């Protein structure tokens, strides 16, 4: 179903100017009427067209602030009336949909903790049947592309056509540089599979740190994302949730002004020819890489037959450790990341194991 989904681009959203990147910003949570309206005025002054605020907050621990609830929707109505901004909020069940749509919220999003649950997504899709409101789907907290696509398909099947995706990173067990691991290959694969779905980056949730927002926002622009959803607050350090990752509308305006926007494609013959020649060289190397891998695999298969005849196990842990360690040293010297060399050789080794297993069992 994915390929055939006729999802409309951002020009179909009720916004006058959808030049890339489309920005959605506002506080993590609506806290007070004053905080919502003051932040919204800052967002308006920063030239941002869509104001976001969490009304219902799914929090990891029950003693955290879990959102102001439905009364916050009245504040969003005031934002609309006083600033003309479009409003957006998160929905996690049919009741949220009913209340948010009833209050005139313009855009909805489904959070990462909801995308993981097909029952919840289906409930939201059913509640939205017949209402083609723009909706954004955050990636699930676990790195499962199929769940992310599945949520988009459920909404599309309910008749929604203005669906976008939000990349907010993936939960990790150990604390790393970022709060949520970006795992860029997953949104890149989403773009390959569903090129028609506009993709937003959420640097606030990826980084968890306002000092790191700019590098993630820039990277997402270099990967050709269509939009950014970034949390902002009139007094970020006093925020009731996610205080470290929010920034003032003024700082956000500076961050956006510093983004370098590059063209998705070259529309100049000289550039296209040069790229064409270089890509030709890449094609040649890719072919050679596959030939080399084929030759390597021939040897692994010969070893497989020999192991079978002599009743030796497929996995040779000591030899495999030697290969990995030596390749890491050599690969890092050549300027590759440890992660890349490790992933590459693990994939090669796994394929060797699979092919030797076939030989053993044939
Ligand atoms: O050295 C071997 O015994 C092999 O079968 C080759 C090979 C490899 O592909 O590098 C494959 C499986 C073993 O676990 C170790 C290494």
Domain with residue 308: its CATH number is 1.20.59.10
Question: 89 and 228: one domain?
Answer: yes
Residue where one domain finishes, among candidates 226, 258, 290: 258
Does the beta carbon of 316 sit less than 6 angstroms from any atom of ligand 1?
A: yes
Q: Are 220 and 259 in contact (CB under 8 A)?
A: no
**CB atoms closer than 10 angstroms to residue 108:** 24
Same domain, 240 and 273: no
| Ligand 1 proximity of 145 Cβ (cutoff 6 Å) | no
Do residues 274 and 206 share a domain?
A: no
Q: Give yes or no: residues 292 and 241 share one domain.
A: no
Task: Give domain status of residue 264, yes or no.
Answer: no
Q: How many helices (H) and strands (E) does the chain have?
A: 13, 8
Question: How remote is the C-alpha of 252 from its chain's centroid?
Answer: 20
Are 311 and 168 found together in one domain?
no
Distance 320 CA to ligand 1 centre (A): 6
ipTM reported for the complex surpasses 0.90: yes
Q: Is the CB of 218 under 6 A from ligand 1?
A: no
220 shares its domain with 343: no
111: confidence class by pLDDT, cuts 50, 70, 90: very high
Per the domain annotation, does 230 fall within a domain? Answer: yes
Q: What's the rounded mean pLDDT across residues 194-217?
A: 97
Give the C-alpha separation, 68 to 110, whole Å. Answer: 18
Instruction: Give the C-alpha separation, 6 to 213, whole Å.
Output: 32
Domain final residue pick, 239, 258, 277: 258
CATH number of domain containing 208: 3.20.20.70
Quote the percentage of the chain above a pLDDT of 70: 99
- For the Cβ of 25 lying below 6 angstroms from any atom of ligand 1, the answer is no
Q: Are residues 298 and 252 in the same domain?
A: no
In angstroms, the first-to-last Cα distance of the chain is 37
Residues 85 and 221 in one domain: yes
- In short, whether 355's Cβ falls inside 6 Å of ligand 1 is no
Domain tally for the chain? 2
Residue 263 within any structural domain of the chain: no
pLDDT 10s digits, 152-167: 999 999 999 999 999 9
pLDDT at 16 over 70: yes
pLDDT per residue as tens digits for the range 24-79? 999 999 999 999 999 999 999 999 999 999 999 888 788 888 899 999 999 999 99
The answer to whether residue 316 sits within a structural domain is yes
352 lines ligand 1 (CB under 6 A): yes
Choosing from 313, 353, 355 the residue with most ligand 1 atoms within 8 A of its CB, the one to mutate for a pocket test is 353
Q: Whose CA is nearest to atom 8 of ligand 1?
A: 349
What pLDDT shows up at residue 19?
85
Alpha carbon of 46 to those of 27, 41, 43, 228: distances in Å? 14, 9, 5, 14
Residue 1 has pLDDT above 70, yes or no: no
Q: pTM of the predicted model, to two decimals?
A: 0.89
What is the arithmetic mean of pLDDT over 80-92? 98
Instruction: Point out the domain boundary residue: 258, 277, 304.
Output: 258
Residues 333 and 202 in one domain: no
Q: Are residues 307 and 243 in the same domain?
A: no
Residue 312: domain span = 269-360
pLDDT in tens, 208-264: 999 999 999 999 999 999 999 999 999 999 999 999 999 999 999 999 999 999 988
Q: CB of 324 closer than 6 A to ligand 1?
A: no
CA-CA-CA-CA torsion sign (100, 103, 104, 106):
negative
> Which residues 6+ apart lie within 8 Å of 209 measured at CB?
178, 179, 244, 245
Q: Is residue 216 part of a domain?
A: yes
For residue 4, pLDDT beyond 90: no
Q: How far is the CA of 347 from the centre of ligand 1 (A)?
A: 12
Specify the pLDDT at position 153.
98
Give CA torsion, residues 112, 70, 55, 154, to 10 deg.
20
| Residue 100 confidence (pLDDT) | 98
63 and 170 both lie in a single domain: yes
Q: Which residue has the tokens 């955050």?
A: 138
Is 202 within a domain?
yes
Residue 353 in contact with ligand 1 by CB distance below 6 A: yes
- Indicate if 207 and 328 belong to the same structural domain: no
Residue 184 in any domain: the answer is yes
Q: Which atom of ligand 1 is nearest to the CA of 315?
A: 14
Task: Give the separation between CA 153 and CA 219, rounded to whole angstroms.
Answer: 27
């Amino acid at each position: 179903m994915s390929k055939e989904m006729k999802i409309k681009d951002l020009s179909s959203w009720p916004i006058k100017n959808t030049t890339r990147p489309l920005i959605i910003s506002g506080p993590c949570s609506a806290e007070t009427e004053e905080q919502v309206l003051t932040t919204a005025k800052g967002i308006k002054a920063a030239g941002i067209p869509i104001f976001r605020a969490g009304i219902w907050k799914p929090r990891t621990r029950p003693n955290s602030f879990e959102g102001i609830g439905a009364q916050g929707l009245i504040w969003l109505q005031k934002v609309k009336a006083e600033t003309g901004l479009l409003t957006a909020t998160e929905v996690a069940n049919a009741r949220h949909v009913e209340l948010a749509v009833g209050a005139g919220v313009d855009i909805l999003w489904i959070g990462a903790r909801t995308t993981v649950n097909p029952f919840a997504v289906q409930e939201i899709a059913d509640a939205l049947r017949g209402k083609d409101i723009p909706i954004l789907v955050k990636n699930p907290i676990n790195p499962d592309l199929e769940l992310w696509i599945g949520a988009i398909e459920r909404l599309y099947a309910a008749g929604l056509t203005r669906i976008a995706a939000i990349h907010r990173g993936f939960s990790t067990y150990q604390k790393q540089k970022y709060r949520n691991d970006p795992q860029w290959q997953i949104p890149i694969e989403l773009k390959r599979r569903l090129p028609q779905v506009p993709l937003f980056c959420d640097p606030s949730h990826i980084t968890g740190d306002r000092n790191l927002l700019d590098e993630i926002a820039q990277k997402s622009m270099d990967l050709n994302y269509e939009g950014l959803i970034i949390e902002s607050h009139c007094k970020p350090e006093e925020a009731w949730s996610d205080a470290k990752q929010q920034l003032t509308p003024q700082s956000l305006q500076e961050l956006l002004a510093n983004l370098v926007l590059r063209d998705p494609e070259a529309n100049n013959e000289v550039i296209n020819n040069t790229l064409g020649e270089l890509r030709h060289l890449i094609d040649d190397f890719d072919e050679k890489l596959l030939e080399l891998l084929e030759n390597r695999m021939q040897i692994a298969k010969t070893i497989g037959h020999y192991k079978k005849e002599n009743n030796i196990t497929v996995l040779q842990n000591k030899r495999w450790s030697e290969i990995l360690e030596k390749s890491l040293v050599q690969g890092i010297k050549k300027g590759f990341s440890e992660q890349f060399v490790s992933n590459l050789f693990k994939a090669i080794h796994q394929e060797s194991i699979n092919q030797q297993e076939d030989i053993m069992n044939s």
